[in-house]
Structure 1
Amino acid sequence: MKRAGAGGLLIAVPLALALFGPLFVPEEQARGAPFVPLGPLGTDFVGRDTWHQVLAGGRTVVLVALLATALSYVVGVPYGVVAATARPRLVDEVLMRPLDVLLAVPSLLVLILVAAVAGPGLGVLVGITALVNFPDVARLSRAAALEVAGRPALEAMRMQGESWWRTSVVYTGRSMARTLAADLGVRLTGALYLVASAGFLGVGVPPDAADWAVMVDRNRGGLFLQPWAVVVPALLIVALSVGVNLVFDRALREVRA
């Protein structure tokens, strides 16, 4: 329980800042000297109040990662189930071989190439992150569905004339739930780091945006003058990633018990 409580607290702080922090940021932000100890956390690389940037900067990282992870599962899980249960088996080969090509390309390269073609924008960033995660989700779903597809119970359901929906979606989906839940924490963490990497590279967000990842990158030049502009957003990203995995680990332990 302590582990789950710690994980919930680690999630709650950055999530609350991402959702409600922008409500407490003034529309017009004054600029002063960069990297000076004014305000609770000093100023950033262009002289803005770092505390205001922290309040406003979580929405991109957190919400884009959540939306991208959800999208990758919405598309990837049915894709993998169809590949595993389709007849004839040639359909499986046709569906899965293109994913091997996607997996062979480094995720950051995909991020840069697609962003260069599609242009900036949070929608593009969500799409790219979902695209990078989609092959892994589909392959995991296929592997889990193949294990279920060989069970005698499923063969009996088919012989009794049960519909594809009942066999491949209801029964198979329920049997895959724990495997997908175990993967979800890791997948969300990967999405968080990919979105943060996009911020470091200036992909999808302006170079001076109020964004935790951008803050870490742009303020690192003043790390020894005013460290909070780097340390605080970095800790918030790490806290969310660690918290998600702690919560999912605890939930899986309780289900197994």
Structure 2
Amino acid sequence: MNDRLDSTTGSAAVKAVDLNCDFGEGFGAYSFGQDDELLRYVTSVNIACGFHAGDPHTMRLAAEKSLAAGVAIGAHPGLPDRIGFGRREMSITASEAYDYVVYQVGALSAFVQAAGGRLSHVKPHGALYHMAGRDQEIAAAVVKAAADIDKRLLIFGGSGSLLLNEARRQGLGAVSEVFADRTYLADGTLTPRSQPGALLASTEAAVRQAVSMATEGKAYTASGDEIPIEAGTICLHGDGPHAAAFAQSISSALLVAGIALRAPQ
């Protein structure tokens, strides 16, 4: 997000960034991540919609907890691959992508409305996220699905991705997402998890990158080189053993750096 001029004082308002986390990714008797602790630090959540994770009960509870915490709620639709947690690419048509997204976003939107809230954004999960970031037809189908449900929905996508370009083309708000704990390739895409150095090994390194992305628009490759990036929202993964402490460190560092934390509008 860019600096804005405060109309009452005439001074430049502080920069702001959103902190988001994937949320409600358990199902049945199984829990996953540190959802309750992360709610203390994030400003947006992306709730699993039942394909890669989540179920009706989990979705309802996640929506209610998020509304009580005052965070913005987004849908996190994925591929129908629960065993692979939605991280394995599938050969799907644009029509199938559209149907998958409408089905999942529509279901979560109903739970959010029933709890007295409104869905704020859509962020594809895992393999679908990466497919929509580089495949024009899949990107168009994902955005059209969101637009057909509610044209006010924002689209979260990777910085510089086709998904964000398509969101803008179809008239939806586009929010550029970056990752505090992942390294990047020289072209601005994430280092694949299968490659060495894909994940930043320490909290200190992730905090350094988060602050750099928010204040300078720079991220890092696995070799330590800087690359330009646009940070509208920073994703905090909640599946590590120290996820809550990690989130606390990043949110505190951003505030110390003069970055306000708030959900995109």
Which band: TM-score by shorter chain? under 0.3
Higher relative contact order (CA 8 A, sep 6+): 1
Q: Which of the pair has more CA radius of gyration? A: 1
Q: More strand by proportion, 1 or 2?
A: 2
Q: More helix by proportion, 1 or 2?
A: 1
TM-score under structure 1 length normalisation: 0.24
